Amino acid sequence: MEFRRVADILKNGQPEEAVVVKGWVRTKRELKGFAFTEVNDGSSLAGLQVVLDSDIPDYEANLKQINTGASIEVTGTLVASQGKGQKIELKADTVIIYGEADPETYPLQKKRHSFEFLREISHLRSRTNTLGAVFRVRNACATAIHQFFQEKGFLWIHTPIITASDCEGAGELFTVTNFNLDKLPQDKEGKIDYSQDFFGKPAYLTVSGQLQVEAMAMAFQNVYTFGPTFRAENSNTSRHLAEFWMIEPEMAFCDLEGDQNLAEEFLKYIFQYVLDNCPEDIEFFNKWINKSLLETANNIMSNEFERVTYTKAVELLEKASKKFEFPVEWGIDLQSEHERYLAEELFKKPVIVTNYPKGIKAFYMRLDEGEKTVSAMDVLAPGIGEIIGGSQREERLDILERRIQEMNIEADSLWWYLDLRRYGSVPHAGFGLGFERLVQFITGMANIRDVIPFPRTPDNADF
């Protein structure tokens, strides 16, 4: 008899079926002559209730070992449940204890633990209801993302993690080196001799795969990255990680409108997929973590996204009766309060703001006519804020070179990026979104450290 997952038994199990389950004990209740235990194997939020009659082999000895956290195997027969909350339960014939969990020292006892505490035991926290649900939903999000792009013929591209380019600002970069820091080699002038480092020059962890994936879009038309990116920002907040995963689609022969279309379709698809595939987990989050979760999801899935230019958005904000902490005028970067006003109060649905002032956006974004704005876009969602940022890229060599100069970008390492405009250049566009932010939005988890298995933050690279 092959063993079955708990999720499968709860969904498809029928009374009188003989089954074997393997998992970890969540709870135990002893009564006269019998006991209940709930076994969870991570396949679903709900565990399987197991009934142990005192006439099974080694009842007393087993019962002593069946404690929260212990791993067990139960062979028995499914019966209709008389208790509330489940339709089926397992009547045990035999029990095997694989590994005990001493109730005196096992950190996950049956009580509420703070997320702060759980972070200290990241190797065990997935065995709790909340974190278990988080990582099932995280997996569903990731699967939805691949499925969305693959169905559309986009190729998954693995852009490099280690890079010698440093074009988005040096302050936030981690250095990667093979040097023994105690014995840094020096050149004749007494400077560090990077020619002796592994890559023969200073190297860093990537902050984005966009520039490289643009090169691939110039061969395959539609591509996307889904990989880790890094920021050495010393921000100890609930919104920042030093290491996080990012998704960056890029489309050749595409303009800002096509980019907006893709972003809208993408978000609707992901939310729908997770709701369809993890209904129990999402219900749990909506009940215990963030009560407006389903409302937010439905808002995103059912509304056509509003599209306004930055210039129009500023006008609307200036007209608003609301008082903002940060005063609004053309040229400012929109603050969170402005974005929330637009999405939550004014339009009450997702909004895509486009064509931002060139001064507050990156060098590679396409310069609009009039040369005041660039073809950038930010997707703002109610209850969430900014979730996606993207742009049409500057495909005109002369303008790109001028912008690089104007913005004092170090251009030496960008020779190949300019080549893409030199040979067979095409209009192209793409966007990026942080995967952990997305998982946060879909689960309602307040702290980004609780949606990645082993978070990396200042002073923390444990596990």
Return the exposure string of 64-77: e unless at least 16 CB atoms fall within 10 Å of the residue's CB, then b: ebbbbbbbbebbbe
Q: What is the CA radius of gyration of the chain?
A: 27
Residue type, 411: A
Of 70-78, 87-95, 268-276, 342-350, the window that binds its own copies (rule: CB under 8 A) is: 70-78
Q: CA-based angle 295:297:298, to the nearest 5?
A: 65
Q: Which of 169, 167, 145 is nearest to 156 (CA)?
A: 145
SS3 53: strand
Count of beta carbons in the 10 Å neighbourhood of residue 281: 24
Q: By C-beta, is 5 or 113 nearer to its own copies? A: 5
Q: How far is the CB of 344 from its own copies (least distance, A)?
A: 31
Nearest distance in Å: CB 320, its own copies? 39
Binding-site size for its own copies (CB under 8 A) equals 104
CB of 324 vs its own copies, minimal distance in Å: 35
Query: Residue 65 interacts with its own copies (CB under 8 A)?
Result: no
Nearest approach in angstroms of CB 45 to its own copies is 12
Task: State the Cα–Cα distance between residues 433 and 437, nearest whole angstrom.
Answer: 8
Binding mask 304-343 for its own copies (x = CB under 8 A): ----------------------------------------
Cα 299 to chain centroid, rounded? 20
Given the complex with its own copies, which of 121 and 332 has the nearer CB atom?
121
Number of residues that make up the chain? 463
**Position 20: which residue type?**
V
Looking at beta carbons only, is 245 or 341 nearer to its own copies? 245
User: Is residue 460 part of the contact set for its own copies (CB under 8 A)?
Assistant: yes
Instruction: Among 79, 179, 283, 411, indicate the residue that binds its own copies (CB under 8 A).
Output: 179
Binding of its own copies by 269 (CB under 8 A): no
**Footprint of its own copies on residues 134-173 (CB under 8 A)?**
135-136, 138-139, 142-143, 146, 150, 153, 155-165
d(CA 36, CA 100): 17
Contact residue for its own copies among 61, 80, 360, 461 (CB under 8 A): 461
Query: Which 82-121 residues touch its own copies, going by CB under 8 A?
Result: 98-102, 105-106, 121
Task: Return left, alpha or beta for 409; rule: phi > 0 is left, psi -120 to 50 is alpha, else beta.
Answer: beta
CB of residue 331 to its own copies, shortest distance in Å: 32
Nearer to its own copies, 250 or 339 (CB): 250
Q: Please identify, using beta-carbon distances, which residue of 199 and 347 lies nearer to its own copies.
A: 199
Positions in 349-388 near its own copies (CB under 8 A): none
Sort strands 48-53 and 18-31 into parallel, antiparallel or unpaired.
unpaired
How far apart are CB 44 and its own copies at their closest, in Å? 10
- Which of 232, 289, 399, 411 is the binder for its own copies (CB under 8 A)? 232
Contacts of 453 (CB under 8 A, 6+ apart): 122, 126, 135
Q: In whole angstroms, how close is the CB of 196 to its own copies at the nearest point? A: 10
Among 117, 253, 326, 330, indicate the residue that binds its own copies (CB under 8 A): 253
**Which one among 17, 22, 272, 294 touches its own copies, defined by CB under 8 A?**
22
Q: Is 219 in the site for its own copies (CB under 8 A)?
A: yes
> In the complex with its own copies, which residue's Cβ is closer, 345 or 462?
462
195 three-state secondary structure:
helix
Taking CB under 8 A as the rule, which mask of x and - marks residues 407-426 in contact with its own copies?
---------xx-xxxxxxxx
Cβ atoms 73, 55 nearer than 8 A: no
Alpha-carbon span 450 to 454, nearest angstrom = 9
Task: Report the C-alpha gap between 334 and 343 in whole angstroms.
Answer: 13
Q: Quick one: 288 or 463, whose CB is closer to its own copies?
A: 463
- Residue (135 or 285) nearer to its own copies, CB: 135
Closest CA to 128 of 456, 450, 438: 450
254 phi and psi, to 5 degrees? -140, 140
Q: How far apart are CA 370 and CA 357, in angstroms?
A: 11
Least distance from its own copies to the Cβ atom of residue 281, Å: 12
> In the complex, what is the shortest distance from the CB of residue 435 to its own copies, in angstroms, rounded to a whole number?
8
Residue 451: phi and psi, rounded to 5, are -120, 5
Which of 38, 41, 259, 394 contacts its own copies by CB under 8 A?
Answer: 41
Indicate the residue among 128 and 354 with the shorter CB distance to its own copies: 128
> Given strand 428-434, what is the order of strands in its sheet?
155-156, 222-230, 243-252, 428-434, 385-392, 373-381, 351-357, 306-309
Residue number, 131 or 351, with CB nearest to its own copies: 131
User: Closest separation between CB of residue 20 and its own copies, Å?
Assistant: 10
Give the largest CA-CA distance in the chain.
Answer: 85
